[in-house]
Chain A
Amino acid sequence: MMRLSKFIIVGIILGITLYKAEAVSWFRIFEMFHFQSFHMYGIIGSAVILGVLIVQLIRRTHMRSIEGKEIVIPPKDKALWRYILGGFIFGLGWALAGVCPAPMFILMGSGYTVFVVFLLAAMTGTFFYGVVRKYLPHQIKSKKEP
């Protein structure tokens, strides 16, 4: 039971953090895309600066996870178009709805049950990606890699 319940605790802390820092707020996202406050940049920036230090420390000390295996951070695929185009489409939705995937769950819990519809729409979007992915540009065109 503890095996999975510890992840619920991580999620609870994540939910309280993003809610209390107003990162779930449509108005905060609007403000961020108008560059009118440091708040959201401070959240992401300080998380990344500290995150870089944490990842370097993990890699240099060959730190082990609680499962006893060395912690490996899986590298992302080398590509261009999927990140530009996928990122662009994600950004459109993020600014429009004011939520990314974590706040979607947080707002559902905070009482905005209409986000059940948002979740279903997001699942539909993910499913649609699965269907059309073979037609979408992903990798940089290269003669070496098929």
Chain B
Amino acid sequence: MVPQFLLDFKDFVSQPWPWYVAGPMLAFIMFVLLWFGKDFGMSANLRIMCAADGASDLNDFFKFDWPSQSWNLMVALGTVFGGYLAAHYFSVPGEQVAHVSAATVKSLQELSPQFNFQEEAVPLLPEFYSWEYLFHWRGLLIIVVGGFLVGFGARYAGGCTSGHAISGLSALELSSLIAVIGFFMGGLVMTHLIFPLIF
């Protein structure tokens, strides 16, 4: 028998989290990592994984003391577990919904018939996130080209959303502000100019 307070806790966490909970949580996570003597940057894991897979033999960019960064791989592993827990324990079955605005529902309907959702019924994640869609040009584009751009861009820019938008802006880094402006320019071009061509 599971104690009632644990069930209450599960129900409490299972609600959709508002921004004013998630934002401070991210600041708290950044603080904890600084307190542990580290820093918050998820895309560094891609470089660590390349180095750990032997890329250092091929390229000097991957010649660094990656085992000293293995703590970051543990953060990444933790997010995998966190994703599992959130999806399987802290979610109400059948209610995996993205609570997007009415304006977004309309924009989605206008973009493509495959996004013909009703209000309050936009799924959390799109159906092209699947192995079957990987064999369709659009799924392949989204997963493979999207992944490549994220991995290449994050390293070229020296960080991603966690390293620049959260850690960098918190440290009042002008460089990070420029990078975040770059993220937005890329995102706006993709969403407004390229999406009408691919959906």
Residues of A within 8 A of B (CB): 4-34, 36-48, 50-52, 54-55, 58, 63, 65-67, 69, 71, 73-80, 82-102, 104-115, 117-131, 133, 136
Contact = CB atoms under 8 A, between A and B. Distances in A.
Contacts of B162: 100-102
B165 A44 contact: yes
Nearest to B123: A27
B70 interface: yes
B150 A112 contact: no
Contact of B22 (A21, A133, A136): A21
A105 B108 contact: no
B109 interface: no
A93 B17 CA distance: 25
Interface of B: 13-39, 42-43, 45-47, 49-50, 53, 55, 58-62, 70-72, 74-88, 90, 98-101, 103-104, 107-108, 122-126, 129-131, 133-134, 141-162, 164-173, 175-176, 178-192, 194-195
Contacts of B158: 76-77, 82-83, 86
Contacts of A102: 42, 79, 160-162
B90 to A, nearest CB: 6
B147 A7 contact: no
Given A15-B79, A48-B170, A69-B37, A136 B156 contact: yes
B151 A84 contact: no
Which 6 residue pairs are nearest across A and B when measured between Cβ atoms? Answer: A11-B78, A15-B82, A87-B182, A91-B186, A121-B147, A51-B170
A50 B184 CA distance: 22
A86 B154 contact: yes
A121 B146 contact: yes
B179 to A, nearest CB: 4
Given A20-B16, A37-B100, A112-B125, 17 more contacts: A15-B81, A21-B16, A30-B100, A33-B188, A44-B161, A74-B39, A84-B185, A85-B157, A90-B182, A98-B126, A100-B162, A101-B43, A102-B79, A109-B80, A109-B82, A124-B151, A133-B156
B150 A86 contact: no
A116 B13 CA distance: 27
Contact of B25 (A4, A17, A100): A17
Contacts of B59: 127, 130-131
Contact of A76 (B28, B107, B125, B173): B173
A76 B157 CA distance: 10
A115 B100 CA distance: 23
Contacts of A44: 23, 161, 165-166
Contacts of B130: 112, 114
